[in-house]
């Protein structure tokens, strides 16, 4: 059962969250302090981050700007070194070349060599993995097909590409080695709705093929739609963690639309403190729990009224996120 | 929990497994360097007629061989891929193409400028051609060297490269090798253009037999001598370019792009006048009288500057060209040997800065 770390905890979590299962990424007490040269005091970007990522899941890392999610990603990729704590990916350090052979990375707003075309860019990344000419000739067009890059655009140099096309090439280069773990930084940012949808479908497809995906994003609707588990960071600390249903919980708010409720019944409703509003000739009752919902439905039946519609509302990840971040405000 | 092999010791986490076939090629190349070193230590380089005999063996030369072998060993297939892409990227830059086109036009037309020095046409041609190539390739070395790594960091292309099975040393060596290849091919192209123009000029003026004739008394050493001597001067220029490229690369990792370029030009002019610094610091033999004027801390600073500056004047042999003095291979290797040591030091400093650089 995954643990949920509440932001109210005074001390940072010591036990790893998300432990259990086939863990392939493990961080323990990870901290990063950026200290400019000759400065005595540094800026803490991340403190005591401990979590596990399991094989075959889509793991979301969310947080406001400056919360430490990109720092976490850079630490996991070995682009920066931790000030404290440890990282293990497949049981090895993140700068280990053997690890890099098994991962793929799509950076936020990917940039490539301007003067190359998409085919040359992918060929270059294929060579870095030591693939033979025949392997590259087979992989490159297949990947460009898979990410939906129009064949007519492939011979154009990268600097003429739109953001969406760059993002497609970015995903293709991240997949060139058929990685076991895919790190995606803001994969849907800047994409049009169709492009964003295609990207989300690609991510889910990767998970369905057995890959592990770690998504870093501030687009919470996207994270809620595709992630299995989510870690919310705020000011460099992990403030909430869990599966999406655990975080957002079941429906907590209901609207009951009714007809045929007379004045006397409405007076009784007021006496029983039911919240209601008149709307287009209908009465809309509001219930803040499933018990209250049952009670109101019984009341409508007893009052000879008719229930015409019941709508349930649950929290969104955005609600949880805003609440977590606000309550963490230090 | 996934089976976790023992974590490698710190410092070995970036080790690259190089394919056996590549290692064999490296061993062959290193074997050739060893043979060359053996020849140097037993027979010595054979210079032109007036500078025959074995070279004076210096420590710099021996270290030069070791560094050459070291660079071969560090050039892994991945570094080769990065080098080729760096080359591909560099030659597709518009300003590079424009500069090369300008150089080619100027060199092709150089024979038309000989009216500027009637009677001295050949000397003018040699001075102009070599000088022009030196300046253009120097600009390429400094500007390309300073823009090898910083744009990769600014534009974040380095993120996707270092997240692939590439260690930072390979990246740096690859970028440097790519630049060296770019400079080499540009220099080769310009040199070929210039030497061809020169040969055509000479043959048209003196006829084939006249151009090839050697008459030492008349100070006419023949076209073959001229071309070989100029070829050697251009090869020496390549040594200077690699030093400037390595310096530019190192400085760009410490200071901003523009500052690195400015410092490079300062170092270039300082290096070109290194014999003057040697004189001032009293480091040269028979130069002690100059040291009398510089004492205490000032002399210390001048001495430090002299030891830090690249000895670029060793690579500039235009005076010998104009005065028809042969450039001996002995001399060239001495310049290359010390140049290799300087490049190795610069690359080592660059790696030390870059290895823990955070992006």
pLDDT digits (tens, 9 = 90+) for A223-268: 888 999 999 888 888 888 888 888 877 667 888 999 988 888 888 9
Residue of B nearest to A127 (CA): B81
Is A23 in Cβ contact with B2 (below 8 Å)? yes
Same domain, A66 and A132: yes
Q: Are residues A285 and A220 in the same domain?
A: no
Does residue A3 lie within any of the structural domains? no
Average pLDDT over residues A98-122: 88
Residue A233 lies in a domain: yes
Contact between A129 and B162 using a beta-carbon 8 Å cutoff? no
User: Looking at the structure, do residues A294 and A222 belong to the same domain, yes or no?
Assistant: no
Do the bridges between strand A275-279 and strand A282-287 make them parallel or antiparallel, or are there none, so unpaired?
antiparallel
- Give A6's pLDDT tier (boundaries 50, 70, 90): very low
Residues A219 and A289 grouped into a single domain: no
Assess if residue B31 is contained within a domain. Answer: no
- In this predicted structure, what is the pLDDT of residue B52? 54
C-alpha to C-alpha distance for B157 and B174, rounded to whole angstroms: 15
- Summary mean pLDDT of chain B: 82
> Which of B8, B77, B159 has its CB closest to that of A96?
B8
Tell me whether residue A286 is in a domain: yes
Structural domains of chain B, count? 1
* Residues spanned by the domain of A262: 253-313
The answer to whether residues A235 and A261 belong to one domain is: no
| Least CB–CB distance from B81: residue in A103, A124, A183 | A124
Asked if residue A175 is part of any domain, the answer here is: yes
Q: Does residue A118 sit in the same domain as residue A186? A: yes
Q: Is A231 helix (H, G, I), strand (E, B) or coil?
A: strand
Give me the residues of B, 84-123, that contact A with CB < 8 A.
85, 88-89, 92-93
Task: Spell out which residues of chain A touch residue B165, defining contact as CB-CB under 8 Å.
Answer: 97, 100-101, 128-130
User: Searching chain A, which residue's CA lies closest to the CA of residue B92?
Assistant: A115
Q: Does B11 touch chain A (CB under 8 A)?
A: no
Q: Three-state SS for B234?
A: helix
A80 and A194 within one domain: yes
- Residue numbers in B near A77 (CB within 8 A): 159, 162-163
Give the dihedral of Cα atoms B112, B115, B120, B126; nearest 10 deg.
Answer: -30
Show the DSSP H helices in A152-281 as ranges.
Answer: 163-174, 193-208, 220-226, 244-248, 263-271
Predicted confidence (pLDDT) per residue in B240-249, tens digit: 999 999 999 9
Tokens of B273: 């006048």
Q: How many helices (H) and strands (E) does chain A have?
A: 11, 13
Tell me how far the alpha carbon of residue B29 is from its chain's centroid. 20
Do A200 and A305 lie in one domain? The reply is no
ipTM over 0.90: no
What's the whole-number mean pLDDT along residues A315-319? 76
Of the listed ranges A251-255, A264-268, B9-13, B159-163, the least confidently predicted one is: B9-13
Q: Provide the shortest C-alpha distance from residue B135 to chain A (in Å).
A: 26
**Which residues form the domain of B339?**
75-269+312-355
Closest Cβ opposite residue B8 in set A23, A93, A129: A93
Domain-embedded: residue B69: no
Q: Whole-angstrom Cα distance, residue A16 to residue A20? A: 9
Residue B11 scores a pLDDT above 60: no
Count of CB contacts below 8 A, A vs B? 108
Whether residue A198 sits in one domain with residue A114: yes
Contact: B85, A77; criterion CB under 8 Å: no
- Say whether both A158 and A277 belong to one domain: no
| A134 within domain boundaries | yes
Q: Is residue B204 part of a domain?
A: yes
Alpha carbons B300 and B295: distance in angstroms, whole number: 8
Question: pTM of the full predicted structure?
Answer: 0.81
For residue A4, CA distances in Å to A67, A327, B170, B171 come to 18, 15, 43, 42
Asked which of A136-145, B236-245, B267-276 is least confident by mean pLDDT, the reply is B267-276
B37 inside domain: no
Domain count, chain A: 2
Q: Is position B259 within any domain?
A: yes
Q: Give the strand pairing for A212-217 and A58-62.
A: parallel
Classify residue B12: in a domain, yes or no: no
Q: Is the pLDDT of residue A56 over 70?
A: yes
Nearest by CB to residue B162, choosing from A79, A92, A124, is A79
Q: Residue A17 in 3-state DSSP?
A: strand
Residues A43 and A173 in one domain: yes
- What is residue B248's predicted lDDT score, i.e. its pLDDT? 96
Least confident of B34-48, B112-126, B300-314, B320-334: B112-126
Asked whether residue B49 is domain-assigned, the answer is: no
CATH of residue A163: 3.40.50.300
Across the interface, whether the CB atoms of A80 and B7 are under 8 A apart is answered no
Q: Is residue B127 less than 8 Å (CB to CB) from chain A? A: no
């Amino acid at each position: 059962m995954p643990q949920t770390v509440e932001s109210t905890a005074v001390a940072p979590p010591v036990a790893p969250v998300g432990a259990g299962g086939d863990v392939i990424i493990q961080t323990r007490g990870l901290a990063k302090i950026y200290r400019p040269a000759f400065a005595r005091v540094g800026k803490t970007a991340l403190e005591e981050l401990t979590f596990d990522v399991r094989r075959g899941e889509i793991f979301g890392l969310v947080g406001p700007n400056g919360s430490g999610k990109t720092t976490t990603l850079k630490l996991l990729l070995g682009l920066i070194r931790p000030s404290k704590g440890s990282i293990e990916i497949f049981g090895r350090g993140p700068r280990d070349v053997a690890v890099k052979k098994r991962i793929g990375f799509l950076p936020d707003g990917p940039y490539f060599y301007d003067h190359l075309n998409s085919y040359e860019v992918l060929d270059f990344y294929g060579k870095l993995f030591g693939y033979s000419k025949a392997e590259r000739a087979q992989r490159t067009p297949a990947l460009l097909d898979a990410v939906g890059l129009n064949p007519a655009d492939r011979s154009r140099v990268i600097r003429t590409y739109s953001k969406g096309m760059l993002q497609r090439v970015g995903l293709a280069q991240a997949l060139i080695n058929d990685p076991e773990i895919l790190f995606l930084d803001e994969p849907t940012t800047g994409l049009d709705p169709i492009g964003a949808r295609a990207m989300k479908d690609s991510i889910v497809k990767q998970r369905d093929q057995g890959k592990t995906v770690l998504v870093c994003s501030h687009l919470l609707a996207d994270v809620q739609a595709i992630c299995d588990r989510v870690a919310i960071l705020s000011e460099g600390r992990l403030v909430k963690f869990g599966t999406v249903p655990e975080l957002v919980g079941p429906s907590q708010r209901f609207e009951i639309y009714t007809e045929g409720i007379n004045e006397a019944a409405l007076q009784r409703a007021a006496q029983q403190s039911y919240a209601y509003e008149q709307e287009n000739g209908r009465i809309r009752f509001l219930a803040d729990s499933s018990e209250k919902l049952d009670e109101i439905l019984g009341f409508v039946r007893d009052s000879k009224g008719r229930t015409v519609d019941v709508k349930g509302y649950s929290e969104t990840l955005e609600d949880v996120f805003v609440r977590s971040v606000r309550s963490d405000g230090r | 929990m996934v089976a976790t092999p023992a974590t490698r010791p710190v410092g070995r986490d970036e080790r690259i497994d190089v394919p056996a076939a590549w290692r064999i090629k490296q061993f062959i190349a290193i074997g050739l360097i060893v043979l060359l070193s053996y020849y140097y230590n037993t027979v010595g380089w054979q210079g032109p007629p007036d500078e025959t005999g074995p070279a004076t063996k210096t420590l710099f030369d021996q270290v030069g061989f070791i560094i050459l072998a070291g660079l071969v060993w560090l050039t892994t297939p991945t570094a080769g891929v990065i080098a080729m892409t760096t080359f591909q990227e560099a030659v597709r830059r518009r300003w590079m193409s424009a500069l090369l086109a300008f150089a080619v036009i100027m060199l092709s037309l150089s024979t038309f400028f000989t009216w500027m020095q009637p009677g001295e046409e050949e000397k003018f041609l040699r001075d102009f051609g070599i000088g022009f190539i030196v300046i253009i390739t120097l600009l390429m070395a400094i500007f390309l060297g300073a823009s090898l790594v910083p744009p990769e960091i600014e534009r974040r292309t380095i993120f996707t490269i270092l997240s692939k099975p590439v260690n930072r040393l390979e990246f740096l060596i690859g970028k440097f090798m790519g630049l060296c290849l770019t400079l080499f091919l540009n220099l080769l192209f310009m040199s070929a253009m210039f030497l061809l123009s020169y040969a055509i000029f000479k043959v048209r003026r003196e006829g084939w037999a006249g151009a090839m004739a050697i008459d030492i008394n008349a100070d006419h050493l023949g076209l073959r001598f001229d071309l070989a001597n100029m070829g050697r001067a251009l090869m020496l220029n390549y040594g200077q370019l690699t030093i400037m490229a390595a310096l530019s690369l190192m400085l760009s990792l410490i200071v901003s792009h523009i500052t690195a370029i400015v410092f490079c030009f300062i170092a270039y002019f300082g290096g070109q006048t290194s014999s003057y610094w040697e004189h001032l610091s009293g480091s040269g033999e028979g130069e002690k009288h100059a040291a009398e004027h510089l004492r205490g801390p000032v002399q210390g600073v001048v001495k430090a500057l002299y030891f830090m500056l690249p000895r670029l004047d060793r690579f500039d042999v235009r005076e010998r060209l104009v005065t028809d003095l042969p450039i001996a291979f002995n001399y060239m290797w001495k310049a290359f040997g010390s140049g290799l040591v300087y490049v190795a030091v610069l690359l080592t400093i660059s790696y030390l800065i870059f290895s823990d650089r955070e992006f």
